[in-house]
Amino acid sequence: MNALHLNGIGHAFLGRTVLDRITLDIGDGELVALVGPSGCGKSTLLHIAAGLLEPRQGHIIRTYERHAVVFQEPRLLPWATARKNIGVALPERLSARDRDDRILAAAAAVALEVEDLDKYPVQLSGGMKQRTAIARALASEADFLFFDEPFTALDPALRRHMQDIVIRHVGSGKRGGLFITHDMVEAVRIAHRVVVLDRRGKGISGKRHIAPMPGERDERMIFETVQHFMKEDPLFRHVEELLERRPG
Amino acid sequence: MPSLVERVSRTAQFLWSGWSGLAGLSVFAAFWQVAHEAYGSFILPSPLETLAAAKALLGEASAWQLLLTTSSRALSGFALAGVIGTVSGCIAGFHPAILRLVQPQITLMLGVPPIAWIVLLMIWFGTGSATVTTTAAVACLPIVFLGAAEGIASRDRLLDDMALSLGMGRVRRFFHITVPQMLNRLLPILVMALGTAFKAAVMAELLANAGGIGEALAVSRSNLDVANALAWILLSVSALLGVEYGLIQPTRSELEVWRHAARPWGVKR
């Protein structure tokens, strides 16, 4: 049973094709990392999958109930406290008590302290803002999460901490997810499966399963896998290329 | 909701900031006094004389009646413009084509001198409350409209995407995501519009002989009673300040607690 099925997705901006014939399946409770060189259309694909963009071709089948997106920027409401930001997408029918319970549970899941919940986004550090954004996605009862390079702006130690949060709450049979990144270490740490997007957006180049479950992998294994992918595996040859603006 | 303690501390801070306002006003009064000493009481009565005149006026019930008349006219004009301007501004903000069509009309409206509006409205509505209220509304409608339209048009689309991605419906997105952003832009403009409404109302009263502070000013003028005229000006400014600090600013600070939190320590005090 697939949670998300993308079939033959194609998209163009102002006549310039950015995505063509992309077919991708993500299983229930599976976390897939999508990698590819900068500018190959990863974010566009995520926006299409999350329903923020209408694709020109192809169709999407979603069997999960709700999804949420964690963006590259935290995208918090500056006029609301962290508590209200986390609760922004909660269903309105909830009682005040249920609401509060959900918010506290989501905050605890991302290790946000209770006293930080009444602060405004300007008073929070970069890591706390991004944690609030993840808590908001978790609180929304989503059973599928999209991540659009969410930890790019964070320093390495903080990034690892955030990846652990993702490993704990996404994948492992709880929620499925699609995680976009251009950091191979990140992809290998958190995902069940790494999928490589073609560098010109023309289909999926290939995929690699990673054997132990995320969370059971040690740093050494991750390091060696990444080295193997980058040095010996032809699939990953173009992943670290920079092709922001290419002709055609 | 902020706790009671926070609220009390915010109110206390607000009252404390009144000292700096008072200091600024004292500087103004000092210059006024210098000018008074240079030109004499007939041209420019001293601040104390003016205060005494204002105090004498406030002793009469009829003066309160006049103040109330002008304030209620200015406020209803302001409210009218506020509602019409905000609603139409929101619509235009969402539809760039409408905004483009309306923009020249706004320029046109801003270009027509207020005095011309008063003449027209006097012909249409006679010399009563309706003329004064409508003048006040017409004077502040364009800026309220532009404020609301720009507030909507310049909203953060990234937040819209965020809300959409969390499955928030259209109505919920509007009230939770877009309206706060619009108010952010609109509130300072509403403060300005309120001042404009008061000024326009007094002017319309004076020209249309429609009672209120405007007419009292006209009477002072015909008696060459400068102290009385200044006293009326003082009272109308106080009425405006009363409405602004009693109504608009508390609403604003309620909605903009987050802005207060963002301010560096030195600016807060």
Mutant choice from B5, B162, B177 vs A, greatest count of A C-beta within 10 A: B162
Q: Which of A119, A142, A165 corresponds to the end of one domain?
A: A142
Which of B159, B165, B262 lies at the smallest CB-CB distance from A122?
B262
Q: Do A68 and B180 touch (CB under 8 A)?
A: no
Mutant choice from A70, A88, A134 vs B, greatest count of B C-beta within 10 A: A88
Which of B167, B172, B262 lies at the smallest CB-CB distance from A66?
B167
Q: Indicate whether A84 and A196 sit together in one domain.
A: no
Q: Do B167 and A78 touch (CB under 8 A)?
A: no
Which of B176, B259, B261 lies at the smallest CB-CB distance from A88?
B176
Q: Do B180 and A73 touch (CB under 8 A)?
A: no
Q: Chain A window 100-139: which residues touch B at a Cβ cutoff of 8 Å?
A: 119-123, 136-137
The confidence score (pLDDT) of residue A248 equals 42
Query: Is-contact B228 B53, C-beta < 8 A?
Result: yes
Is A244 a member of any domain? yes
The confidence score (pLDDT) of residue B72 equals 94
CATH number at residue A47: 3.40.50.300
pLDDT band at B241 (very low <50, low <70, confident <90, very high): confident
The confidence score (pLDDT) of residue B245 equals 83
The confidence score (pLDDT) of residue B139 equals 92
The confidence score (pLDDT) of residue B155 equals 93
Residue A51 C-alpha, separation from nearest chain B C-alpha, in angstroms: 7
CATH number at residue B187: 1.10.3720.10
Put simply, whether B166 touches A (Cβ < 8 Å) is: yes
The encoded tokens of residue A136 equal 């908001």
Q: What is the DSSP letter of A183?
A: -
ipTM of the complex in this document: 0.84
The confidence score (pLDDT) of residue B110 equals 87
Q: Which domain holds residue A122?
A: 75-142
Rounded CA-CA distance B164/B162 in Å is 5
Give me the number of domains chain B comprises: 1
pLDDT in tens, B38-79: 998 888 999 999 999 999 999 999 999 999 999 999 999 999
Q: Indicate whether A110 and A212 sit together in one domain.
A: no
Q: Chain B window 221-260: which residues touch A at a Cβ cutoff of 8 Å?
A: 255-259
Q: Indicate whether A231 and A161 sit together in one domain.
A: yes
Q: Which of A87, A112, A142 corresponds to the end of one domain?
A: A142
Is A174 a member of any domain? yes
Q: Do A140 and B176 touch (CB under 8 A)?
A: no
The confidence score (pLDDT) of residue B247 equals 80
CA nearest to A87 within chain B = B166
Is B146 a member of any domain? yes
Q: Indicate whether A103 and A192 sit together in one domain.
A: no
Give me the number of domains chain A comprises: 2
What are the per-10-residue average pLDDT scores of chain A (248 residues)? 89 88 91 88 92 92 91 92 91 88 92 91 90 91 90 87 89 83 90 90 87 86 90 84 53
Q: Indicate whether A138 and A156 sit together in one domain.
A: no
Rounded CA-CA distance A42/A37 in Å is 9
Is A70 a member of any domain? no
Angle, CA B174 vertex, CA A126 and CA A61 arms, to 5° = 80
pLDDT band at B128 (very low <50, low <70, confident <90, very high): confident
B162 CB neighbours in chain A (<8 A) are: 69, 71, 75
Q: Indicate whether A56 and A165 sit together in one domain.
A: yes
A53 CB neighbours in chain B (<8 A) are: none
Mutant choice from A54, A79, A118, A140 vs B, greatest count of B C-beta within 10 A: A79
Q: Indicate whether A151 and A53 sit together in one domain.
A: yes
Put simply, whether A221 touches B (Cβ < 8 Å) is: no
The confidence score (pLDDT) of residue B18 equals 81
Q: Using alpha carbons, list the distances in angstroms from residue A124 to A80, A117, A118, A128, B144.
A: 12, 10, 10, 6, 34
Q: Which domain holds residue B116?
A: 45-268
Q: Indicate whether A58 and A173 sit together in one domain.
A: yes
Q: Indicate whether A161 and A53 sit together in one domain.
A: yes
Q: Which of A122, A142, A162 corresponds to the end of one domain?
A: A142
Strands A2-13 and A57-62 come out as antiparallel
Which of A66, A75, A123 lies at the smallest CB-CB distance from B158?
A75
Is B84 a member of any domain? yes
CA-nearest of A11, A3, A4 to A42 is A11
Q: Chain A window 136-195: which residues touch B at a Cβ cutoff of 8 Å?
A: 136-137, 140, 142, 146
Put simply, whether B161 touches A (Cβ < 8 Å) is: yes
Q: Do B163 and A146 touch (CB under 8 A)?
A: no
* Average pLDDT value for chain B: 89
Q: Indicate whether A61 and A160 sit together in one domain.
A: yes
- SS3 readout for chain B: CCCHHHHHHHHHHHHHCHHHHHHHHHHHHHHHHHHHHHHCCCCCCCHHHHHHHHHHHHCCHHHHHHHHHHHHHHHHHHHHHHHHHHHHHHHHHHCHHHHHHHHHHHHHHHHCCHHHHHHHHHHHHCCCHHHHHHHHHHHHHHHHHHHHHHHHHCCCHHHHHHHHHCCCCHHHHHHHHHHHHHHHHHHHHHHHHHHHHHHHHHHHHHHHCCCHHHHHHHHHHHCCCHHHHHHHHHHHHHHHHHHHHHHHHHHHHHHCHHHHHHCCHHHHC
Q: Chain A window 50-109: which residues touch B at a Cβ cutoff of 8 Å?
A: 50-52, 66-69, 71, 73, 75, 77-81, 88-89, 92
Q: Do B166 and A68 touch (CB under 8 A)?
A: yes
Residue A197 C-alpha, separation from nearest chain B C-alpha, in angstroms: 23
Rounded CA-CA distance A51/A47 in Å is 6
A146 CB neighbours in chain B (<8 A) are: 165
Which of B159, B166, B262 lies at the smallest CB-CB distance from A140?
B166
